[in-house]
Every structure is written in structure tokens, then in C-alpha cells.
Amino acid sequence: MSWALSRRTMLAGSIPACIASRGARAQAAAWPSQPIRLVVPFAPGGTTDLVARLVAAGLQERLGVSVIVENRAGAGATLGSELVARAAPDGYTLVMSNIASHAISPAVYRNRVRYNAVSDFAHIALVVSNPTVWVANPRAGIRTLQDAAAKARGPGGLDVATSGAGSSNHLMVVRMGQLLGVELNHIPFRGAGPAMQAVIAGQVPMMSDSLPSSVAHIRQGSVVAVAIASAQRHPAFPEVPTFREQGFDLASDSWFGLSAPAGTPAPIVARLNRETRAFVALPEVRARFAELGGTPGDLTPEGYADFVQREVALWAPLVQAAGATAD
Amino acid sequence: MDLFANLAHGFSVALTLNNLLFCFIGCIIGTAIGVLPGIGPVATISLLLPITFGQPATTAIIMLAGIYYGAQYGGSTTAILLNLPGEVSSVVTTLEGYKMARRGRAGAALTVAALGSFFAGSVATILVAASGPLLTQVALSFGPADYFSLMLLGLVISAVLAQGSVVKSIGMVVFGVSLGMVGTDVQTGQQRFTFGIPELSDGVGFVSIAMGMFGIAEIILNLERPEARSVMSGKVGSLMMTREEFRRAVPAVLRGTTVGSLLGILPGGGAALSSFGSYMMERKVSRGRHEFGNGAIEGVAGPEAANNAASQTSFIPLLTLGIPANAVMALMVGALIIQGIQPGPRMVEAQPDLFWGLIASMWIGNLMLLVINLPMIGMWVKLLAVPYRYMYPSIMVFCAIGVYSLQNNVFDVYQTVVFGIFGYLCSKLRLEAAPMLIGFVLGPMMEEHLRRAMLLSRGDPMVFVERPISAVMLGIAAVALIAMLMPNVRKGKDAALAEGG
């Protein structure tokens, strides 16, 4: 597969694979003995895909077998997730679970999603989470959320761009509107790139975005970071105040993790959790995530499962409020 | 001159042995996947991404870029030889290119595609190097209203200039637009016309439609008429262009390069519009316009040049703003981020090796493509001599594999079958597939921009005439429509088309 693989890794990967193929079924004790499939429920090129490829490269090295990224996009990340929910729980099929596939989309596609985001998965580990950030065009005259609120209450209202309807960024716009008591004019785009371009060009004054897609533009000064939706100020951007500091009780992270089908043997889940946490804690990986504004996850499997459950409970009512259900 | 110093630096980066090697590998892989129907650059790049982890960032991006424009190039080969467009841009190439192949001029069509692409690629590369940041401003000055009007103009012109019955071609455009509406609504997230099929929630697949309507339908049609098959395999024809063909192709390439360079800067619709735009232009202004529909060389030369120019200039938003214009670019951003480089506005200053090396390697890559492909034309054309009982089943198998590999989903294969049958029926009813595909590609973008413009203007439609760019586009569209509706002009058009066949 990969030229980046060292010869040792390749040998380690291929020999057990030969042995295992003779046996009827890979034993949990001998796991991993064949390539692992990591399903990304989004198209190649997005943040989920990116995180998955980083993790796949890391796990491949640590587990000694190939970890193959497979993109199965569609229906708000539910197609790929459903595929994994139904796959054999043998530790060879994993999904890059995320805020869309495992918290928001189940509420958006509530009549069509045929998996339970909590009970149909053995949740393994939180990989990384990024806060939402609100940025503005420097010429729009919006430096604080108070400025934004004043514009929203003013005659024309306030336009806010997002990467798409039903995204966590969109739901942030809805929550902010509820807190302000005035509806914000939501302008959805197809992905963060085009939305950011419209903000830089001044067609839309403001945007609710995940930090990774904004980082370069904030550093360059082509947009101004107005508020960050994390509990504390972000270490990479200490000068950007949080929503709470500015009087709005909002915090929202987009997150990415690893999950397997429910029933995956506990030792496999534990091993994957250990390797993933060790990988994301490596200084160079931490640095890579930090450049993008992400915080590496450090949760046990149980911790991550609880986390997913809380997120599901948090987002469902907001999806209703946004009228973003698809049925 | 700064520019020359920078370019010299770029060439010194691109001409290292390692970078040349990877540029070459990228071009070869790109050409190969372009030739294989259905396997697109997105699937290939995502598969090959791990290879690049072990390489320096500049090398990685040079290889990925090679795959990208190699695929653009290879796609035209199957479009010309087998009527199989793998991408939006090569749909246009099938129109005249496949007709040329049927007349025994496949070699000339492939040659002009190669030379035209190389010329356009060279010009566009210089353009990117010289005025990338400046052109970014052009892209930024296009607002939603302007995009809407541009797309509307594209649709109107494609309906007005289509072959045969205007009513039928408008009907096909409208049907294409409706097909484009299938899937999740961008503004509200509502499902439209999906009939509860989850696979349809992201819309009908372009590759399925293009392959079904063109490639598969053509195979069914050929099975129907054994005499046509033997004619084609018997007549391979001379490989080189005649002097006359060359003279006709030159102005078409120049016009195509201009159209493509300009439209390529606009993210999203730009690259798709460029080859359609150039085709429509050639059909109206070129000396060989009466031959359109029968294999006019201008209809291959112009769009191929436009397409290649656009695929070079579409790097401008990525390199200057850090905003990817399409899925392939998004993957390249991913590759850079994995390498620890944050693409963005500061990339030119922060990573001069990467920026100028990539630009230099674009030109080297185009040269390589020419060198790889010109000698191969003879081999490709011989492919036509393969007996159809071997060729058709293999095309079908490759199509099925290619379509499946897009999403790893059998549903896409079924879609292709349905559109193959539908395409056959359309041919029987003399309904053209090209206007439908234009509608399918432009319709959803047009809707998106229309609704975004209306959201931003608080529902005031005046925004479309108040913005100068938009107003000009709408003006041209109106003139084209009126010209079509005026009876004497109509008569002239019909006569011209009847003459052209």
C-alpha cells in the first residue's frame, strides 16, 4: 500500500495476515492480523477525512497492520456510519465518528437513520475536538459580539455564513439567535471554503466556522476572530474572548473520534483506545493539531461513549428548533 | 524582474531528480486513470495520498497536481475514441471528437487535443505566475448574483445554440436542471425527490449520467447497426493533422485558452463552464462552424484548450487564498496539512519553494504529458481496431468498476444502467444528451447562487440588475433569447444547422 511503510512494519503486517487467513476466524487474542478498514463517512478532503488519515497512519505504525481509509459519503454522514454499525464486530471495521454522524444527523434524518448513535457502536476514543469560532470581515465593523448583536437588532439584520444547513456551525447560529431574541439571517454554503471566500470578499459580514478552516485566515488578518465557543480561551488564540466572557452562554466543539460496531470485544476496544490516545499525545501530533486549533482527546472508551450520549441529547432539540429535520 | 527570479527558483526546485520523477509518475497515473472510464482523480488521489507522506511537501503536491491535470488530459482520449466522458469537461469533447473518430480522424482529434492542451496550459501557467494575486481580486468581485447570471447565461446559450429542435433542447436543459435538484437542499437540508432512497440524498451521480447517456447508450446503438461498427474499425485514418486542420485549429485554441483562463479563476462553476463556453463560441464564430455536428476540429481544439487552461488557473484561489476550488484541490489541502503546511494567503511568502516549484512543475508536467501522449496516439487509435465483441464487454466492465469505485456503492452502477437505457431512448427520439448534462451541472449551482443572492438582498430581486457584472450577463442572455425568438433569425439558424447536418 504505502511506500512510507517501513519494511519491518510490512513484514509484521503480512505474516500474521497469512496465518490468519488459514484460520476460520481471527481470534481477539491474535488481533490485529489483517488490514483494518477505517470508514470515513464524508468525501475525501474534508476535516474528518484529514483527521482519519492522520490517525490511520499512526495506528498503522503502532498496530503493525495496514489501516485503510475508505470514504463512504452521503446523507449527512449517516450512510458510512450505518455500514459500520452493521459490520462484523471483529475489530477490523472502524468508523471516524463525529459530531455530524453521531450527534446531529441522527436528529436531522430521524426517520431514516437505521442506527442508534449510542447503542449500536462500541465507542473507542475521542481523537480531537475543535471549538467553533465566529469570524467577521475586517471592514464589517464587527469586533465584539455586542457589535454583532447591535447589527442583528438593527434594520437590515445580520447575515451569518456557515458551511451548510444542519451543520453544528448552523445550529450555533440558531442558538445565538435564541439568546439574542432576534433571528439571524443564516446564509448556508457548500462547505467552509466557499463560505470563507464570501466573508473575505465582504459579501457576507460574518461566519460561524470550525476553527481549523479559519486558522490561516485569522492569522493572516483577512478575517477578525470575534468570539470562540470554548469554555476557556484557546491556547493558540489567547487574545480571542469566549462567548461566555461576552455574556452569551454558548460553548460548542466539533469533534472526531473512533468507533466500532457494538459487540466488538472489550480487549480490542481497550487496545485501540490505548494506541489512539498514545498517538494523539505525541508531541508532533499535538503540535499538528494545535496548529489547526484542535485539542487532542483523552477519554476512556466509557468516557467517550458518555460524551457521545451527552452530545446526542444536546443537539436533538436544537435541530428541532432550527427546523432542519429532513422528513 | 522578480517574476523571472521567482520562476527560475521554481524551476530549480521542480527540476531536481526526485521532483521530476514524481511529476512524471503523477502524469502517468493521471493519464491512466483519465483513460479508464469512471475512475476519477478524487478516488485516485485519496488512494495514493499515503504514498506522499514519506516525501517532502513540494514533491507530494507536484505529484498530486500531475495526477490532476494528467486525468483531465487522459479523459479526452476515451471521450474521443469511445464516446465515454469521465468528467464534465470531456462531455463537450465527445460532441465533435467522437464524430471525428467515426470519420477516421481520431488521430488528428487526439493530436489537436494534446497540442491545444499544452499551449493553453503553458499560457495559463504564465498567467498564474504573473498575476495570480491580481486575479484573486477578480474571483472575489464575483458575488452570488453575478454567479447566478453567469450560469443563467450559460444555460440560455446552450439551449439557443443546441442542434436540432429548439423545443427539444430546452426540454432537455430543463430536465437536466430538474435532475440536478434531486438530493439534499443546501439551504434547508430538506430531501427533494429522493423517494426515500438514502443514496439519492447527495444527488444523482454525474459520472453515472455521463457514462450512461454517452458511453453505454452508444454501445447499445452500435449493437443495433452492425454496418456502422465495421466502418469504424476499418478506417483508422492518418494520425497527423492535415495542414488545413492545423490552420483551423489555431484560432480555436487561442480563443479556448482565453475563455478557459478567465473562467477557471471562478471557483465551482468556472472549470465546468469553460469547455461548454468555448464549444458554444466556436460553433458561432469559427470558420468551420457549418461542420459542427459532423466532427469539426474547432469543436475539439477550443474546448480542450479551455479545459486545460481552466484547470491551471483554478489553482489561483488555492494558492492565494488557501480556498480549494473543487474536491481535488480540497484533497491537496489535506495533503499539505498532513505535511504540516497550512495553505493560505501567506503560502507564497512562507513557502516559496512550494509555490514556485508547483508553478514550474505545472509547465514541466504539461510538457511531459505532451511527450508521453503524442507517441501513444498511434497506439490509442489502434484500439479502435479491436473487434467489438471484445471491446464492448471490456468497456462495460471498466465502466462498472469505475462507477463502483466512486462511492464503493453498487447503487451507482444501477444508476448507470438506468441512464444507459434512457440515453438510448433519447438517441432514438433525437433528444440531445449534452444540453441535459449542462443543465444538470449548472442548474443546482444556479439555484444555490440565486437563493443565496435573494437571502442576502432580503428578497429584493433588483440585486440582479443593480450589480454591473450581473446586469451585463443578464443583458447578453436577454439578447440571445430575443434573437432566438425573432422569426427571421430563427430561420437563419435552422438553415445553418440544416447545412451542417
- Give, for all 501 residues of chain B, the pLDDT tens digit: 577 888 888 888 888 888 899 999 999 888 888 887 767 777 778 777 777 777 888 888 888 888 888 888 888 888 888 888 877 778 888 888 988 888 888 888 989 998 999 999 899 988 888 876 677 777 788 888 988 998 888 888 777 766 667 788 888 889 999 999 998 777 776 778 888 787 787 788 888 888 888 888 888 888 887 655 544 544 556 667 788 888 899 999 999 999 998 888 876 666 678 888 888 888 878 887 788 888 889 999 999 999 888 888 888 877 777 777 777 777 787 778 777 777 766 677 778 888 888 888 888 888 888 888 888 887 877 777 777 778 888 888 888 888 887 777 788 899 999 999 999 999 899 888 888 888 888 888 889 889 999 999 888 899 999 999 899 989 988 888 887 776 555 555 555 555 443
Identity of the residue in B53, B343, B452 whose CB atom sits nearest the CB atom of A4: B53
Q: How far apart are CA B305 and CA B72, in angstroms?
A: 11
pLDDT higher than threshold 60 for residue A64: yes
- B452 vs A2: CB contact, 8 Å cut-off? no
Domain boundaries, chain B: 2-500
A43/chain B closest Cα distance in angstroms: 8
Here the cell at position B97 is: 471528437
Shortest CA distance from A322: residue in chain B: B188
Q: How far apart are CA B71 and CA B311, in angstroms?
A: 11
A111 reaches B (C-beta below 8 A): no
- A188 vs B186: CB contact, 8 Å cut-off? yes
CA Rg, chain A, in Å? Answer: 21
- B317 vs A189: CB contact, 8 Å cut-off? no
Question: What is the phi-psi region of residue A309: left when phi exceeds 0, alpha when psi lies from -120 to 50, beta otherwise?
Answer: alpha
* Comparison of pLDDT for A143 and B373, the residue scoring more: A143
pLDDT digits (tens, 9 = 90+) for A201-232: 899 999 999 888 888 889 888 899 999 998 88
B56 reaches A (C-beta below 8 A): no
Report the DSSP beta bridge partners of residue B162: none
B18/chain A closest Cα distance in angstroms: 15
What was the pLDDT predicted at A315? 87
Percentage of chain A lying above the pLDDT 90 cut? 35
- B334 vs A49: CB contact, 8 Å cut-off? yes
CA B232 vs CA A52, A184, B79, B355: distances in Å: 49, 62, 15, 46
What does DSSP say about strands A253-261 and A93-98: parallel, antiparallel, or unpaired? Answer: antiparallel
Identity of the residue in B51, B189, B345 whose CB atom sits nearest the CB atom of A222: B345
- B340 vs A288: CB contact, 8 Å cut-off? yes
The mean pLDDT of A143-148, rounded to a whole number, is: 93
With both helix axes pointing from N to C terminus, report the angle between B269-285 and B298-313 in degrees, rounded to the nearest 10: 150
Report the DSSP beta bridge partners of residue A188: A162
Give contacts of A217 with chain B, Cβ < 8 Å.
Answer: 322, 344-345
What was the pLDDT predicted at B417? 94
What was the pLDDT predicted at B236? 54
pLDDT digits (tens, 9 = 90+) for B221-231: 888 876 555 44
pLDDT higher than threshold 80 for residue A268: yes
Among A52-61, A117-126, A200-209, B126-135, which stretch is predicted with the lowest mean pLDDT? Answer: B126-135
Instruction: Quickly state the pLDDT bin for A20 (edges 50, 70, 90).
Output: very low
What was the pLDDT predicted at B489? 52
pLDDT higher than threshold 80 for residue A327: no
Give contacts of A86 with chain B, Cβ < 8 Å.
Answer: none
Q: What is the complex's ipTM, to 2 decimals?
A: 0.78
**Residues in chain A, total:** 327
Give contacts of B315 with chain A, Cβ < 8 Å.
Answer: none
- A76 vs B201: CB contact, 8 Å cut-off? yes
A169/chain B closest Cα distance in angstroms: 14
> What amino acid is encoded at B327 in this protein?
A
Catalogue all structural domains in chain A, each as residue range(s) with its CATH number.
7-130+254-322 (3.40.190.150), 131-228 (3.40.190.10)
| Nearest in space to A55 (alpha carbons), one of A223, A275, A214 | A275
pLDDT higher than threshold 90 for residue A243: yes
SS3 sequence of chain A: CCCCCCHHHHHHHHHHHHHHHHCCCCCCCCCCCCCEEEEECCCCCCHHHHHHHHHHHHHHHHHCCCEEEEECCCCCCHHHHHHHHCCCCCCCEEEEEEHHHHHHHHHHCCCCCCCCCCCCEEEEEEEEEEEEEEEECHHHCCCCHHHHHHHHHCCCCCEEEECCCCCHHHHHHHHHHHHHCCCCEEEECCCHHHHHHHHHHCCCCEEEEEHHHHHHHHHHCCCEEEEECCCCCECCECCCCECCCCCCCCCCEEEEEEEEECCCCHHHHHHHHHHHHHHHCCHHHHHHHHHCCCEECCCCHHHHHHHHHHHHHHHHHHHHHHCCCCC
B185 reaches A (C-beta below 8 A): yes
- B140 vs A156: CB contact, 8 Å cut-off? no
End-to-end Cα distance, chain A: 42
List all residues of chain B from 400 to 459 with a beta carbon under 8 Å from chain A: 407-409, 448, 452, 455-456, 458
- A216 vs B343: CB contact, 8 Å cut-off? yes
Identity of the residue in A4, A44, A222 whose CB atom sits nearest the CB atom of B331: A44
Q: How far apart are CA B305 and CA B381, in angstroms?
A: 21
Measure CA B347 to chain center.
28
Percentage of chain A lying above the pLDDT 70 cut? 89
Shortest CA distance from A156: residue in chain B: B458
B203 reaches A (C-beta below 8 A): no
What was the pLDDT predicted at A158? 94
Identity of the residue in B46, B322, B346 whose CB atom sits nearest the CB atom of A44: B46
What was the pLDDT predicted at A297? 87
Shortest CA distance from B203: residue in chain A: A74
- A200 vs B140: CB contact, 8 Å cut-off? yes
What was the pLDDT predicted at B227? 57
